[in-house]
């Protein structure tokens, strides 16, 4: 049975909580149980390959030239590499959004809408894996709005393509997909976190992955180039395609708002550019023969084998990599010595500490909708050594602090008589409250 209240944090104890990515979390947990840290790597590799294949098939559905398919797919995949290299639930969103777009564009091109009835089944799974299934619903809204926007544009110009989607049929498909999203343990409450994030916009300033692209990397500039290039292609068309324009506007708005969503421009542009090709004809589509499938599979296996050959992906090597980024050694000390809470920690390490120290509720973690903008901002201010750090009641009540070594608060705590430094390495420092009795099991006294 899934939790209905938050069991992981001090602040959220007893509060209603929706584990909106519960199926992804169960999947990753099982993979880690079966294969160790390599299991998480397997998830990342398999989903990245699936996304690459989905983008490839999306483009080849409309583009007959093999070289063009490969080139356009390569540009799209490279631009979204920062997203693909993270083993996060959003990989399912990228995959399902690409599949949905292919079904919609295929229905527009052929006039056969039967395939759209696969979408409710897709959304039933999607809603249990990642909260961004709402992007898929937004895409359906764009398709449903095409006919209405087309009618408005006809009042100003005759150079407008007629909508290929029947409004009533698209409305039925959309309603069926919305109903399918309710097939989850939380039913209609799955939408509550969406509303939280819509209302509490301040999180986009606090969390780095939610901030707008700063155009300091090649992938970000490539995303901009894709957006500009796709706009140019649409601008050169003799007629206006309302669906393509609305799709690009949606993708650009979301991608330029948050670097986590940069993939949207890449996927949307791939579909628009391929489907806009003047060379398209159903009869002349590029056919992926058995020989070509075999060639692509062999090439992919060679790349994977070479990567594994040149990279140490053993369990010990992966654990060393984890310890270079996360407080693995510090947590081992806490486990061994049985330090008691309450625990005080930084936002960045909350999820890891929940996993490694299940008996100690965290002070803060990445479930930002649980804490609210004000509390999250205050926590970051304390860790940056803000003027109120010494009088912060949560820090004052802490029995244990697992601190990032490069945070200003860590240096301040070393001179704070309320805490004793009991462990330090290149990544983390561990403090316990001065004269606080150590216990063997968290939350228990030696006599209990």
Q: Specify if 3 maps to a domain.
A: no
In contact, 202 and 249? CB cutoff 8 Å: no
Residue 314 domain flag: no
Q: Please check whether residue 105 is in contact with residue 55, taking contact to mean a CB–CB distance below 8 angstroms.
A: no
* 340, 276: one domain: no
Decide if pLDDT at 180 tops 50: yes
Bridge partners for 6 per DSSP: 13
Q: Are residues 259 and 385 located together in one domain of the fold?
A: no
In 3D, which of 200, 212, 25 has the Cα closest to residue 130? 25
In this structure, are residues 402 and 331 in contact, taking their beta carbons and an 8 Å threshold? yes
pLDDT in tens, 39-92: 898 899 899 999 999 999 899 888 777 788 888 888 999 999 888 988 899 999
Same domain, 264 and 382: no
Q: What is the pLDDT of residue 123?
A: 97
Q: Are residues 110 and 257 in the same domain?
A: yes
Structural domains counted in the chain: 2
301: in domain = no
Tell which residue, 199, 205, 253, 191, has the closest CA to residue 227: 253
To which H or E segment does residue 288 belong? Answer: none
Does 173 lie in the same domain as 79? Answer: yes
Helix (H, G, I), strand (E, B) or coil at 389: helix
Q: How confident is the model at residue 447 (pLDDT cuts 50, 70, 90)?
A: very low
Residue 367: other Cβ atoms inside 10 A: 20
Task: Give the 3-state secondary structure of residue 280.
Answer: coil
pLDDT at 194 over 60: yes
Radius of gyration of the chain (CA): 25
What is the tens place of the pLDDT at every residue in 277-328?
644 444 445 566 677 677 767 777 777 666 666 666 777 788 888 888 899 9
Confidence of residue 36 (pLDDT cuts 50, 70, 90): confident
Shared-domain flag, residues 153 and 203: yes
Contacts 24+ apart (CB under 8 A), 380-388: 380/206, 380/347, 382/409, 383/346, 383/347, 383/407, 383/408, 383/409, 384/408, 384/409, 385/409, 385/411, 385/412
In tens, the pLDDT along 246-289 reads 999 999 999 998 888 999 999 999 999 988 864 444 444 556 66
Give the domain-ending residue among 288, 318, 335. Answer: 288
Domain membership flag for residue 309 = no
The stretch 19-45 carries a mean pLDDT of 90
Residue whose pair of structure tokens reads 């063997």 in the numeric block:
440
**Residue 442 forms part of a structural domain:** no
Mean pLDDT of 11-38: 88
Average pLDDT over residues 374-394: 89
Tell me, yes or no, whether 308 lies in a domain: no
Q: Is 431 helix (H, G, I), strand (E, B) or coil?
A: strand
pLDDT digits (tens, 9 = 90+) for 107-137: 888 777 788 999 999 999 999 999 999 999 9
Instruction: Tell whether 132 and 247 lie within a shared domain.
Output: yes
Domain shared by 211 and 340, yes or no:
no
Contact predicate 270/55, CB 8 Å: yes
pLDDT digits (tens, 9 = 90+) for 142-152: 998 888 888 88
| Count of CA atoms in the C-beta half-sphere (13 A) of 246 | 18
Least confident range of 94-103, 172-181, 232-241, 324-333:
232-241
pLDDT, position 361: 92
Percentage above 90 pLDDT, the chain: 43
Q: For the chain, what is the mean pLDDT?
A: 85
Q: Which domain holds residue 399?
A: 326-433
Do residues 220 and 213 make contact, with C-beta atoms less than 8 angstroms apart? yes
321 C-beta neighbours (distance < 10 Å), count: 14
Q: What is the mean pLDDT of residues 340-368?
A: 89
Pairwise pLDDT comparison (264 vs 372), residue with the higher score: 264
Whether the pLDDT of residue 401 is over 70: the answer is yes
Same domain, 68 and 167: yes
Are 41 and 178 in a shared domain? yes
Domain boundary among 288, 309, 336: 288
Q: Are residues 60 and 188 in the same domain?
A: yes
Contact 95, 50 (CB under 8 A): yes
Same domain assignment for residues 340 and 262: no
**CB burial readout 217-241, b (16+ within 10 A) else e:** eebbebbbebbeebbebbeeeeebb
Domain membership of residue 189 (yes or no) is yes
Last residue of a domain, one of 262, 288, 314: 288
Distance CA 26, CA 14 (A): 22
Describe the chain by its helix, strand, coil percentages, rounded to 5.
65, 5, 30
Task: Classify residue 367: in a domain, yes or no.
Answer: yes
Q: What is the pLDDT of residue 412?
A: 94
Distance CA 195, CA 282 (A): 42
pLDDT of the residue at 437 = 47
Q: Which two tokens stand for residue 3?
A: 């939790």
Which of the pair, 447 or 365, is modelled with greater confidence? 365
């Amino acid at each position: 049975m899934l939790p209905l209240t938050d069991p992981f944090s001090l602040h959220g104890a007893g509060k209603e909580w929706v584990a909106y990515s519960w199926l992804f979390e169960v999947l990753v947990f099982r993979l880690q149980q079966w294969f160790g840290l390599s299991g998480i790597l397997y998830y990342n590799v398999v989903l990245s390959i699936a996304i690459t294949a989905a983008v490839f098939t999306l483009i080849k559905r409309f583009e007959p030239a093999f070289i063009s398919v490969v080139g356009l797919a390569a540009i799209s995949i490279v631009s979204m590499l920062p997203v693909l290299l993270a083993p996060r639930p959003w990989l399912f969103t990228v995959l399902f959004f690409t599949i949905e777009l292919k079904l919609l564009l295929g229905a527009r091109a052929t006039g056969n809408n039967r395939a759209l009835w696969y979408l409710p089944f897709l959304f039933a799974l999607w809603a249990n894996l990642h909260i961004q299934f709402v992007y898929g619903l937004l895409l359906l809204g764009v398709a449903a709005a095409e006919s209405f926007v087309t009618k408005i544009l006809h009042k100003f110009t005759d150079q407008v393509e007629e909508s290929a989607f029947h409004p009533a049929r698209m409305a039925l498909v959309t309603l069926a997909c919305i109903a399918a999203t309710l097939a989850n343990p939380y039913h209609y409450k799955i939408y509550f976190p969406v509303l939280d994030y819509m209302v509490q916009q301040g999180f986009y300033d606090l969390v780095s992955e939610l901030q707008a692209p700063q155009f300091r990397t090649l992938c970000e500039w490539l995303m901009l180039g894709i957006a500009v290039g796709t706009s140019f292609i649409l601008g050169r068309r003799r007629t206006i395609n309302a669906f393509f324009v609305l799709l690009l506007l949606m993708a650009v708005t979301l991608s330029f708002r948050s670097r986590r969503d940069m993939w949207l421009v890449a996927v949307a542009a791939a579909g628009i550019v391929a489907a806009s090709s003047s060379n398209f004809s159903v009869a002349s589509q590029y056919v992926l023969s058995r020989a070509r499938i075999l060639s692509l599979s062999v090439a992919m296996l060679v790349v994977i084998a070479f990567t594994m050959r040149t990279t140490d992906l053993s369990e010990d090597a992966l654990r060393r990599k984890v310890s270079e980024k996360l407080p693995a050694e510090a947590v081992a000390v806490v486990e061994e010595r049985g330090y008691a809470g309450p625990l005080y920690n930084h936002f960045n390490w909350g999820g890891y500490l929940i996993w490694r120290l299940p008996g100690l509720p965290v002070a803060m973690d990445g479930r930002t909708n649980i804490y609210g903008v004000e509390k999250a901002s205050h926590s970051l201010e304390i860790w940056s050594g803000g003027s109120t750090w010494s009088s912060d009641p949560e820090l004052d009540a802490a029995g244990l602090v697992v601190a990032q070594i490069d945070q200003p608060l860590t240096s301040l705590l070393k001179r704070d008589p309320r805490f004793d430094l009991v462990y330090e390495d290149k990544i983390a420092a561990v403090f316990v409250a001065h004269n606080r009795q150590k216990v063997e099991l968290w939350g228990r006294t030696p006599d209990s």
